[in-house]
Structure formats: structure tokens, C-alpha cells
Amino acid sequence: MDQKKLDEFLGKAIGEWGAALDALLIFVGDKLGLYQAMSENSEAFSPEELARRTRTHPRMITEWLKAQASGGYITYDSANGTYSLPEEHADAFTNVNSQAYIQGCYQVLISLFKDEEKIIEAMKTGKGFGWGDHHPYLFEGTERFFRPNYVANLTNHWIPSLEGIEEKLKNGAKVADVGCGHGVTTILMAKEYPKSQIIGFDFHEKSIDWARKEAEKEGLKNVTFEVGGSTSFPGDDYDLVTFFDCLHDMGDPAGAAKHVLRTLTKKNGTCMIVEPFAHDRTEDNLNPIGRVFYAASTMVCVPASLKENGPALGAQAGEAKIGEIIREAGFSKFRRSAQTPFNLVFEAKV
């Protein structure tokens, strides 16, 4: 045995322990408003002052601050015994409108720890478990996690990358957003293209209820939400059908693609598929982003598909596999139209 390699591995493990424990403390800090309180004042805080502002216990806050400083999330002034939140970190922790906002990811992580017994059972039996079987934190955390990326890219980059679609949406088109979840993408499209009718579909009734309330808050009249499956959602003559980070989760992605083809306008309908960024070869995905997606896929995406006896594509399915499904469904054209470090955007044409 190589002692140096062992020592390096154990050092890596210790770093992972801290990161795992900090994930819970970051979530707690978010729930208690600790980051928000620190970001609202540029001054450094004593533990007592932060506790007073957030109505928390000073001894507990002292230990939380030390843990956060150890992880490099906040800074410590040893001369004054005070702590501060760097502006850049505050942007990531507290600014929900920032593309760097990361708090949703920690809520997702906590939801998965709460589901550990279901994950273990799925690993043993392969029977899987569905999206709706997860702890509710997953639904809210997923929305918070994906929202910044969608806000930054959906109407600014992704839709303009599709052939002729942006002009149609501006003039008035009919859109189905399949697997819409809490309706972030559906509402973004409805707000940007008021002449178009946008319909969000999801099989998870509680998510649809949430989306309806969000649309009502926005006062939108051109968006509706309905409970509907990916292979059976109603309607026809759609100009655009969209899948955002969900096709790979489905029990029957091929059936979903075939159903979309039946519902699109026959001359020039378009399907936009947004998927997690992935290369086609496993070895090319063994990197920090691939690590996140493979881990999440093990606990969410693959079990969801297996629950429905599906192909379990997983979050790292890759362009070749998605393209194969789309072409076999009968689409004549398939291409990558855009990408970000976290997503691949595909265009499929009738």
C-alpha cells in the first residue's frame, strides 16, 4: 500500500466531512435569516449582535459562525472577534435574482438526506420511487436551484437560439411546457411573450397548485396550469413544446417524444429539450459538474424512471442518447442550439 496515497485520500475525506456538515448549517443559516441579516449591513458582527438581530441564541450563533469561518464562507477578524459576509458570498447566499444564487441546492440536499430510507430501498430493489414520493423540500429547492439559470438564459439566449420561434412567440403562439413543476419557466415565457398562450403541464398535483398561485400573484392572463402526464397531456396544434430538465426523469421519454410530435403543428412545430450538461462518454463526465449530476441522478432521476419501469436515462444521458430518442420518435431534425456550463439545449423539428 502507498501510504502517501492513503494519506491524500483521508485528507480528501476530511474535507468532504466538513462540506457535508456545512451543507446542513448553510440550510439552517438560510432558514434563520442569518446570511440575510449579515448582508443587510456591511459592518462586521459579533455573535451577540447577530443573535440579537435574528432572535437566536448567542452561544449557538457563536459556534455556527466559527464553523462558517472554518469553511471559508464568512470571514473572521481575530483582532475584534467579529465576523462578516463578503459581498460576493452575500450575492450567492441572499440575492434570489442573481445567477450565482445557490441556496436552493442546499434545500435539495437536505431533502435527500430526509429520503435516505427510500434511497436505500431503491438501491436494493431497483423498484424506484417517484418524484412525488420525495420530501417536499425537494420541490421548493429544485425551483430555487434552477430559477437563476432559467431567468438568465431562457428568453435571453435559449429561445432566440431556436429557428423562428422567438418571432412566433412575440406575435402570439401556443406553447406547452411539459413537466413544468412549480412553473418557473412557464411564467417566464408568459411574462416575456404576452401575446402567446402558455400552458404548463405536470403530473404532480401539488406542484401545479403552487404554480397556479404564483401565476395569480403575477396577475398573468395568458398562462394556465393543468395536471397532465408527458405522454397524455391534452391539446394540439402547439407551436412549441418544451421540456426543462425533466425528459431524462420520465418513465417513457420515447412515448413523450411521440406524443409531442402528435400535438405539434404539422408544418413547422418545434420541441425544445433542455437537459443537464453531459458528454456522451462516462469518462468525460468525471468532473465536478458531472459529480453533482450523477449523485443527484442516483437519488432522484433514475429512481423516478424506474418507478414507471422506464429506461432510467439519468441526468447524464448525453446528446447522442437524447438525439436517438427524438429521431426514433419521428422528428426530422435534431440539433444542439445552445449550451451553458450546466445545460444543453436541443431543438427538434417536425
Please name every residue paired with 197 in a beta bridge, in sequence order, or none if there are none.
174
Please name every residue paired with 344 in a beta bridge, in sequence order, or none if there are none.
275, 339
State the distance between the two ends of the chain, measured CA to CA, in whole angstroms. Answer: 59
Q: CA 318 to CA 285: how far, in whole Å?
A: 10
Q: CA 66 to CA 70: how far, in whole Å?
A: 6
| CB of 195 closer than 8 Å to CB of 170 | yes
Q: CA 114 to CA 318: how far, in whole Å?
A: 29
| CB of 165 closer than 8 Å to CB of 270 | yes
Q: CA 273 to CA 151: how far, in whole Å?
A: 17
Q: CATH 3.40.50.150 residue ranges in the chain?
A: 148-349
Q: CA 115 to CA 129: how far, in whole Å?
A: 10
Instruction: Give the pLDDT confidence score for residue 267 in this predicted structure.
Output: 74
Instruction: Give the pLDDT confidence score for residue 156 in this predicted structure.
Output: 97
Neighbours of 268 (CB within 10 A): 13
Residue count of the chain: 350
CA dihedral for 297, 338, 207, 107, sign (positive or negative): positive
Q: DSSP 3-state assignment of 44? A: coil
- Taking alpha carbons only, the member of 157, 142, 147 closest to residue 272 is 157
pTM: 0.93
| CB of 179 closer than 8 Å to CB of 202 | yes
Q: Which amino acid is at 118?
A: K
Q: Which amino acid is at 249?
A: D
CA dihedral for 229, 231, 232, 233, sign (positive or negative): positive
pLDDT digits (tens), the chain, 350 positions = 999 999 999 999 999 999 999 999 999 999 999 999 999 977 899 999 999 999 999 999 999 999 999 999 999 999 999 999 999 999 999 999 899 999 999 999 999 999 999 999 999 999 999 999 999 999 999 999 999 999 999 999 999 999 999 999 999 999 999 999 999 999 999 999 999 999 999 999 999 999 999 999 999 999 999 999 999 999 989 999 999 999 999 999 999 999 999 999 877 899 999 999 999 999 999 999 999 999 999 999 999 999 999 999 999 999 999 999 999 999 999 999 999 999 999 999 98
| CB of 71 closer than 8 Å to CB of 106 | no
Superfamily of 148-349 according to CATH: Vaccinia Virus protein VP39 (3.40.50.150)
- Phi-psi label, residue 259: left if phi above 0, alpha if psi -120 to 50, beta otherwise: alpha
| CB of 226 closer than 8 Å to CB of 199 | yes
Q: CATH 1.10.10.10 residue ranges in the chain?
A: 3-94
3-94, CATH topology level: Arc Repressor Mutant, subunit A (1.10.10)
